[in-house]
Amino acid sequence: MKRATRQRSAIRAAIAAAGRPLSPLEVLEGARSDVPALGLATVYRNLRLLLDDGEIQGVNLPGDNVRYELAGHDHHHHFQCLACQRVFDIHACPGDLQRLAPPGFVVEGHDLTLYGYCADCRASAVGGQGVRAVGVGACS
Amino acid sequence: MKRATRQRSAIRAAIAAAGRPLSPLEVLEGARSDVPALGLATVYRNLRLLLDDGEIQGVNLPGDNVRYELAGHDHHHHFQCLACQRVFDIHACPGDLQRLAPPGFVVEGHDLTLYGYCADCRASAVGGQGVRAVGVGACS
DNA sequence: ATACTTGCAAAACATTTGCAGTGAG
DNA sequence: CTCACTGCAAATGTTTTGCAAGTAT
């Protein structure tokens, strides 16, 4: 059975407090304010457990490692900053994507990621250097 | 300037011949029929170059490493069948996604993946079991 | 007590980089 | 002749695993 440990709560809390998908390392940093001695391996182990339990869900972005966020949120999408690489939640949706699918195909769900510059990065550094986002199109 | 080397042609040829997205390792295997002494580092270096040149593009599927395929000449998205896992190209686009971004954010590009059932699977198979697709919402 | 958990370190992978030698232009 | 390119090995970076000690139940 799954126990209630300090580290597990800290990890859960860190993800809940973030409000955006966190990488395992970010989870570690966040959770260490509660449990300073927390180990990275423990973070990975717990992320796996929480994933299997459906408490959190993975967010997979091209050119970046998997991030995690609480499951059960409203349906939403993500915006990744090409400069600082941070990922933000977008609580909006293009809607009606069934029309994009070929005839005979049934759309059950979708995944949308926007790329660009967040308010912070757009304000300061203007150039998007060293960016290597995969699969970023240009018809937006 | 970019030179024309045997290994680069072999890599290009391997990707072109596959007809499906290949992982770096698969590219290596395929290209070694032309250049047996080909090294993995060279594959990675060339994938990066070809990516930057827009000759190929990365395909990022949840739970799998990045794969590469020849770049189509047009912007497109992907449809992954929840039953057979195959990935299809979708030559359509929702358009105008800037409106979805928070104020102050600039959208430079986007990535869209639809999940559902392809014409084949919709006809035959029943349920999509054992599917662990990340970030699949339900507002479509 | 029992056995699930943890921290640390080492292992297993994936990808990148340093370097001297090679070859395209 | 030059300098981009290559192969190899070593370096990075990420995620997993082995194991003895710790701890919730």
Confidence of residue B127 (pLDDT cuts 50, 70, 90): very low
Tell me: pLDDT of A127 over 50. no
The closest nt to B40, taking CA to C1', is D7
Q: Inspect the interface and report whether the beta carbons of A100 and B93 lie closer than 8 Å.
A: yes
> What Å value separates CA A27 and C1' D6?
40
- Sign of the torsion formed by the C-alpha atoms of B4, B10, B16 and B17: positive
CA distance A116 to chain B (A): 4
Tell me what percent of chain A is helix, strand and coil, each rounded to the nearest 5: 30, 20, 50
Task: Encode pLDDT of B14-44 as tens digits.
Answer: 999 987 789 999 999 999 999 999 999 999 9
pLDDT at A133: 40
- CB-nearest partner of A109 from B62, B122, B137: B137
> What Å value separates CA B39 and C1' C23?
16
Share of chain A above pLDDT 70, in %: 86
What mean pLDDT is predicted for residues B1-19?
A: 93
Task: Encode pLDDT of B75-107 as tens digits.
Answer: 778 887 777 667 777 888 887 788 888 888 999
Cβ neighbors of A131 (< 8 A, separation 6 or more) are A82, A83
Residue from B48, B110, B136 to probe the interface with A (highest A Cβ count within 10 Å):
B110
Task: Encode pLDDT of A55-93 as tens digits.
Answer: 998 888 777 789 999 987 667 888 888 777 778 888 888
Residue B61 in contact with residue B80, Cβ under 8 Å? Answer: yes
Confidence of residue A20 (pLDDT cuts 50, 70, 90): confident
**Token pair for residue A1?**
């059975």
Residue with tokens 């686009």: B93
How many residues appear in chain A? Answer: 140
pLDDT at A49: 94
Residue from A97, A115, A124 to probe the interface with B (highest B Cβ count within 10 Å):
A97
**What is the set of domains in chain A, with CATH numbers?**
6-70 (1.10.10.10), 77-128 (3.30.1490)
* Structural element, H or E, at residue B53: helix B40-53
Confidence of residue B119 (pLDDT cuts 50, 70, 90): confident
Confidence of residue B125 (pLDDT cuts 50, 70, 90): low
Residue A66 in contact with residue A58, Cβ under 8 Å? Answer: yes
Q: Scanning every residue of chain B, which has its alpha carbon at the shortest distance from the alpha carbon of A110?
A: B114
> What Å value separates CA B1 and C1' D4?
7
* Structural element, H or E, at residue B87: strand B87-90
Which of B53, B56, B52, B24 has the alpha carbon at shortest distance from B40?
B24
Residue A116 in contact with residue A83, Cβ under 8 Å? Answer: no
Confidence of residue A8 (pLDDT cuts 50, 70, 90): very high
